[in-house]
Structure 1
Amino acid sequence: MKVPNYDFKRIETEMQEFWDKQGIRKKANAKNKDGKTFYFLDGPPYTSGKVHLGTAWNKSLKDTFIRYKRMKGFNIWDRAGYDMHGLPTEHATEKKLGINGKEEIIKMGVEAFIKECEKLCIENMRVMNTDFRRLGVWMDFENAYQSIKPEFIEGVWWVVKKAHEQGRLYEGLRTMPWCPTCASAVAKHELEYKNVTDTSIFVKLKITGTPNDYLIIWTTTPWTIPYNLGVMVNPEIEYVKCKVDSEHWWVAKTLANVFVTSVAGKNLEIVEEILGAELEGIAYEHPFADVIPEYARIKKKSPKAHTVLLSSEYVDTTAGTGLVHCAPGCGPEDYEVGHRNKIPAYNTTDERGVFPQEMREFAGFVARADDKKFIEALRTRGAIIAKNPVQHDYAHCWRCHYPVLVRTP
């Protein structure tokens, strides 16, 4: 239906002016002041940019819900909010100032940069307040909470204090996504996944006290092998010992034929079959034990290091060998299993992903970028069975689009 001479912009302006002049939102809320209280916590948009279709839709849906509650007689807490911290704000400020990266921020001066970040946030918040009002949103924008304000930060510390008083806090390392180019942590929701081709490797780990028995693991991240502290198996999966030439290899039963005959190019002969639960605690020798003395120190404090660990949630037979390389300092799932078994989150890479001098043979190697060097180090020790290209989705930094690492900063 066509409505002639309907000026949407004029009507919008007149309606907004009427609401503001007459204080309609405040009157509607006052009308319900004795009603049952309904608290609405506004999930805040970033103030790193302007309102876009996503934030407009988000706020409009929230407003619809709040209006429904208001019409049902609820006394509404409808305070708006803004998220003014994090990399999105820093990135937008860098772009505005024409600088790039941590080094240039330090050169400019951290305090001066923070002031520019605050300035950008406030400017964008004011524009967003106006735009949300133009969308017809009825929320308390005059008293919107701002994450950069002292009262907000103090509120967060109050929550931390309460958690501490209730014994809910503990100190420890944990892994997190990290961009070596930006030299900064990256939040999970800031990760972009892209399909990439990496080199996957099948590595054999010699079982301690045996002449030729091996656990066979598979990984798409060769750089994490120096930080390997365990091998995960599923307690309910069937595993088999395969006789391959003069050696015995342990792999999942359902993957044995494909792995031994197709990947390794050997003849398959199964000599033993057990459930994964029976492999728990079997110790193995790390191929890099000759160059990383830290292993011995870790073993003294964590007896389960370099042994078979059970994990029904993170081990399956969709790919690989059914035995999963576990580096607690290089992945969230690995960390969880390691923490459960009192194994530390071992990862010494710096903020650029560079291995330090204490890693001896690997000093100066760059995580991921030098995967070929780690593969060669394993090959010279006779630990590589096969290597194959594999396509998979891998997390990238939203900011610089570089592949991220997982580390313990």
Structure 2
Amino acid sequence: MDGDDLPPSISFPEEEENIIRLHEKLDAFQTSCKLSSKRPSYTFYDGPPFATGLPHYGHLLAGTIKDIVTRFAYSQGYHVERHFGWDCHGLPVEYEVDKIHNITGPHDVEKMGVAAYNDKCREIVMRYSSQWKTVVQRIGRWIDFENDYRTMYPSFMESVWWAFKQLFEKGLVYRGIKVMPYSTACATPLSNFEAGQNYKDVQDPAVIVSFPLDNESGVELLAWSTTPWTLPSNLALCVNPDKDYVKLQDKSRDRVFIMMECRVSSLYKSPDDYTVLKELKGKDLSGLSYKPLFDYFIALKTSRGAFRVVCDNYVTEETGTGIVHQAPYFGE
């Protein structure tokens, strides 16, 4: 083909659709799988989306990456089975059913009957499957929709229980404690994704609390917290090891505080309100012990080394005092 044979313009979307139609005519994906059936297998687990919603940008991005991985494996001489999956469990399905049937709590489910409620959940699980298939095929991804897997299939659930049993018998399962977001309406813990679905920017309460040092009479660490209700469980204070801190004399209160140097202006309106007594790095504060606000966990001071200053780079210069109150039981 020379330059004279080229069209004056090309519609890339039309060309993409032409290629997709050609692949469908040739049954290219299934044919490629048949041709590679005797090759070594490349196992690829495709994490399933929720079956109750339409595909969005995040699904398409992840799907494109998965398609690249599996196509590359095929080109390297492997047989790659690719089965689309559906996540049919969890709150999204129940939430949709609750909206449709005006269910507000367990008493409404009891009136309907658990079996009938489960049937309603099954009915809506695959209502978006055709739209998913259209979108996924339109972006050119090769994957098998006809032999899909669904988490509601007994065979799938049994395989999960089998895998869990193997882990349990090898001593890899243990009972522990973890702080989780909790839905009072659904009476169940939430995943991080579910907890973030109703994320809102709100005005946050914040307090500045002083913690007297043990070995330096009259000197206090100024800590900042947006979760004052966690202060009874305080076990440590955290500073940034690489940032500059100051020990200053508060003239109006006649007290000595330690805080991050660049945050002083957020606490004091004028330099005349304080006198800098000493400059130091955050790492210089590491290991200092202080008096706790409450004595609930005082025994941990000697047995576990609680109520000391620790260092971490997550402490920033943007907010607070540069000293962060730590209550491990209330977070990760």
Q: Same fold (TM over 0.5)?
A: yes
Match of 2:36 among 32, 37, 45: 32
Contact 1:82–1:145 at 8 Å: present in 2 too?
A: yes
Asked which structure has the greater RCO (Cα within 8 Å, sep 6+), the reply is: 1
The residue that corresponds to 2:6 in the other structure is: none
Aligned-pair distance for 1:49?
2.7
Match of 1:92 among 88, 93, 96: 96
The one-letter code matched in structure 1 to 2:149 is Y
Aligned-pair distance for 1:35?
2.8
Structure 1: how far apart are the matches of 2:149 and 2:23?
Answer: 26
Matched, 1:251 2:259: yes
Aligned-pair distance for 1:323?
1.2
Aligned-pair distance for 1:186?
3.1
Structure 2: how far apart are the matches of 1:144 and 1:316?
Answer: 47
Structure 2: how far apart are the matches of 1:86 and 1:153?
Answer: 13
Aligned-pair distance for 1:282?
0.4
TM-score, normalization by structure 1: 0.61
Structure 1: how far apart are the matches of 2:231 and 2:270?
Answer: 20
Instruction: Using the aligned pairs only, state the percent identity.
Output: 29
Please list every run of 5 or more consecutive structure 1 residues that lacks an aligned counterpart in the other structure: 290-294, 333-409
Contact 1:239–1:276 at 8 Å: present in 2 too?
A: no
The residue that corresponds to 1:230 in the other structure is: 236
Structure 2: how far apart are the matches of 1:41 and 1:170?
Answer: 25
Please list every run of 5 or more consecutive structure 2 residues that lacks an aligned counterpart in the other structure: 1-8
Structure 1: how far apart are the matches of 2:132 and 2:207?
Answer: 50
The one-letter code matched in structure 1 to 2:321 is T
The residue that corresponds to 1:262 in the other structure is: 269
Matched, 1:282 2:289: yes
The residue that corresponds to 2:246 in the other structure is: 240
TM-score, normalization by structure 2: 0.73
Aligned-pair distance for 1:52?
5.6
The equivalences for 1:104-253 within 5 A come to 104-105=108-109, 108=112, 112-125=116-129, 128=132, 138-164=142-168, 168-179=172-183, 183-190=187-194, 191-192=196-197, 193-208=199-214, 212-244=218-250, 245-253=253-261
What count of residue pairs does the alignment treat as equivalent? Answer: 317
The one-letter code matched in structure 2 to 1:322 is G
Aligned-pair distance for 1:240?
3.3
Deviations 1:33-86 (A, max 9, x none): 223433332231210134567646765675576556556653221122111122
Structure 1: how far apart are the matches of 2:308 and 2:49?
Answer: 45
Contact 1:208–1:285 at 8 Å: present in 2 too?
A: no
Contact 1:82–1:125 at 8 Å: present in 2 too?
A: no
Q: Secondary structure at the match of 1:44?
A: coil
Hey, which of these two has a bigger chunk of strand by percent?
A: 1
CA RMSD of aligned residues (A): 4.3
Structure 2: how far apart are the matches of 1:246 and 1:57?
Answer: 59
